[in-house]
Amino acid sequence: MPTLLLNDGTRTPWIAFGTGTALYKKDAADAVTVAIQNGFTHLDGAQVYENENSLGAGVVASGKPRSELYITTKLAALEPGETPTSALKISLEKLGVDYVDLYLIHQANQHVGKLKEVWKGMEAAKAAGLTKSIGVSNFTADHLKDILEVATVVPAVNQVEAHPYVWKSLGPNLALHEKYKIVTSSYGGLSPIVRGKGGPLDTVIKEIRIRLEKTRGSPVSDGQVLNKWLQQKDVLVVTTSSKAERIREYLDTENVPELTPEEVTLIETTGAKLHKRYFVRPSA
């Protein structure tokens, strides 16, 4: 499994199995077990998904040792008197583990006026050994600037909706990510072909897929073209499926030949012709 180096010196598998969206507030145990048994080692959860118990059950059922897995969870809105550390301790109980590998603030707009305080709480959770790395999710560049004013630990990851139809609009984020070596993590990365068929990318992806199939000598899917593009952008991809065949296809992306520099640029410039967001835009 190829990995990405985080700015704290740890490494994360480049692709994660997500337990939100289709599994939101649902029992994720079987899906997680299938994902692990077919090769996923990075599992992406969240308190707000309300399925951390079943994520943990799926890990146990898979038989995979904790040491061979990378587990992410995300902080929800804090209850009165609650801290990122106390909230994480509850998550660890539900997950059935002693620590997570990555802990993210899920939404900046759940902590209006308190982002700096919450970030210091994330740093405390890391210092306590409850998480190896800390980061954020759905943060705009302004949100990042806010916490960077007080951060002694720079966020390792910012998980956002990322695909060619929003890539241009992510410019301010990407500039900060590059400056502080924050890894961009993508959810909804396949939206252009799953939710946005009929857009300008359709023809481009088809042409690149045909070229890749000729080079590889075996089938390549449209999804693999997009995931390969994200991988070559050093993006941490979060994706999901209930089908073992689809899961194997996602993981097989690493075996797909690389896109040429011209193809990488073509996907980006074609995607810039349409600005389309498929998930709720984070509030500034």
Catalytic residue IDs: 49
- Residue 177 known to bind ligand: no
**Which residue bears the tokens 């899920």?**
106
Q: What angle do CA 260, 166, 228 make, to 5 degrees?
A: 30
Query: Strand runs (DSSP E) across the chain, as ranges?
Result: 3-5, 11-13, 15-18, 42-44, 70-75, 100-105, 131-137, 157-161, 183-187, 236-239
Strand 131-137 to 157-161 pairing: parallel
Contact 76, 110 (CB under 8 A): yes
- Note the residue count of the chain: 284
**Which residue bears the tokens 């349409």?**
274
Q: How far apart are CA 76 and CA 80, in angstroms?
A: 13
Binding site feature residues for substrate? 106
Binding site feature residues? 106
